[in-house]
Structure 1
């Protein structure tokens, strides 16, 4: 399989004198088409790790390769281009532009990529159909539910076919029904578009939709579990077992 992401010896320290090792010598890789979750207690470094991969934060040491390119060596202009062209983002706060409709929010990602105008409409509508938001395309964010907004954000993230979709607590602000629907759409994105997804979550139910989970503790990798051929309920129980070892909350039940 093609390796999309490779993280080697990654460190991110904060402070002078008394140094906090937010990410401490982390190594892992993600192959094309994988759906990988990152879990850990508060302060374990999971969001800092995602921020380094997304180029929002700068590592103290180590390397991050995306599609074979070491992004830790890129200068600001190169980073901006890389972020725009090869990454897709879905955050807890969907960050849609209030003055644009759902259609326009999704199309904006293509416009920034300078996609030919004649291709934009088909790409937007195909992606909206995948995320089940075709009935929302002419609505503004304030006219949509939280779940619809988040699925619009997911559509915007994948419409450009990025190398890697980064999701930070994407279900954190959703009710259980909306969260389940979003996660089912993530599964479909992964299956039909071969979208490679790296998702930070504190919730075992959300994590159970992934293929593999990396667990962080005190900035370091603590454990890793793979779903394999397990039913999602069985994978959920396995995740809960590791969360219990970490001393975290045992999240929602299925």
Structure 2
């Protein structure tokens, strides 16, 4: 079966010659449809650069990025905009909701942009909101919601269009522990019940333990991978901590 995401030989260099920084150095990574994969690494390891290249926010220096068999590095202009809008979903640390719109309107906006028929919008928004546990927040404005509710609204906005791949960059980074747990539970439900494919960057070992697989980056290269398999979350968390310990002081910020 072909991979949903196939990254091959991905390299990203910032600057020129003597001042050049190799943020990614020949990264190979693949995700099957329905996988939930975490990316971890110390600051400067390349994890955010990797996510930015896959999300088309940044352009790699060399290498290949295939999503559903399409080479993202060759897409330009309107074709790239359309692909990003229709096939990719984004969840950032800052939820970026529009303050003048209700939760319903923020979520519905994604459907309007991709041309969803008007009659389909309300049921799809409501179904997605219920899945993320914010069905009772749809008439509220962002300032009337808690931080966790806002982030789950942002997640609903990201997945309501049924994208091929959801990219999450530190989605729990600005949340308290209770709100973070609620968001992570909802993301697991999305992955399990809807088969949503998720690639998530995180610095937090507990957050990473929700994933089916965790890829560790070091100096722009893959250092190690862990698969959860049949392990429960506690056992997988312990494995993640062991790898962090191997990386030593480079990842003190995750402990």
Q: Which runs of 5+ in 2 are unaligned?
A: none
TM-score, reference length from structure 2: 0.97
Matched, 1:20 2:35: no
Runs of 4+ in 1 over 2 A off after TM superposition: 249-252
Matched, 1:11 2:14: no
- What CA deviation, in whole Å up to 9, does each residue of 1:58-85 have, x standing for no partner? 0000000000001111112211111101
Give the aligned length.
Answer: 252
The CA distance in 2 between the partners of 1:249 and 1:185, in whole Å, is 28
TM-score, reference length from structure 1: 0.97
Match of 2:223 in 1: 222
Match of 1:232 in 2: 233
The CA distance in 1 between the partners of 2:253 and 2:145, in whole Å, is 31
Asked whether the equivalents of residues 10 and 63 of structure 1 are also in contact (C-alpha less than 8 Å), the reply is yes
The CA distance in 2 between the partners of 1:231 and 1:34, in whole Å, is 17
The CA distance in 2 between the partners of 1:81 and 1:48, in whole Å, is 22
Match of 2:148 in 1: 147
- What CA deviation, in whole Å up to 9, does each residue of 1:81-119 have, x standing for no partner? 111010000000001111100000000000001000000
Asked whether the equivalents of residues 42 and 253 of structure 2 are also in contact (C-alpha less than 8 Å), the reply is no
- What CA deviation, in whole Å up to 9, does each residue of 1:112-157 have, x standing for no partner? 0100000000000000000010111000111100000000000011
Report how far residue 245 of structure 1 moved: 1.2
Report how far residue 250 of structure 1 moved: 7.0
Report how far residue 246 of structure 1 moved: 1.4
Matched, 1:52 2:53: yes
Asked whether the equivalents of residues 243 and 250 of structure 1 are also in contact (C-alpha less than 8 Å), the reply is no
Q: Pairwise mapping of residues 100-119 of structure 1 onto structure 2 (< 5 A)?
A: 100-119=101-120
Asked whether the equivalents of residues 111 and 160 of structure 2 are also in contact (C-alpha less than 8 Å), the reply is yes
Matched, 1:249 2:244: no
The CA distance in 2 between the partners of 1:198 and 1:106, in whole Å, is 21
Asked whether the equivalents of residues 204 and 250 of structure 1 are also in contact (C-alpha less than 8 Å), the reply is no
Asked whether the equivalents of residues 244 and 250 of structure 1 are also in contact (C-alpha less than 8 Å), the reply is no
Other structure's SS at 2:4 match? strand
Other structure's SS at 2:252 match? coil
Asked whether the equivalents of residues 23 and 49 of structure 1 are also in contact (C-alpha less than 8 Å), the reply is yes
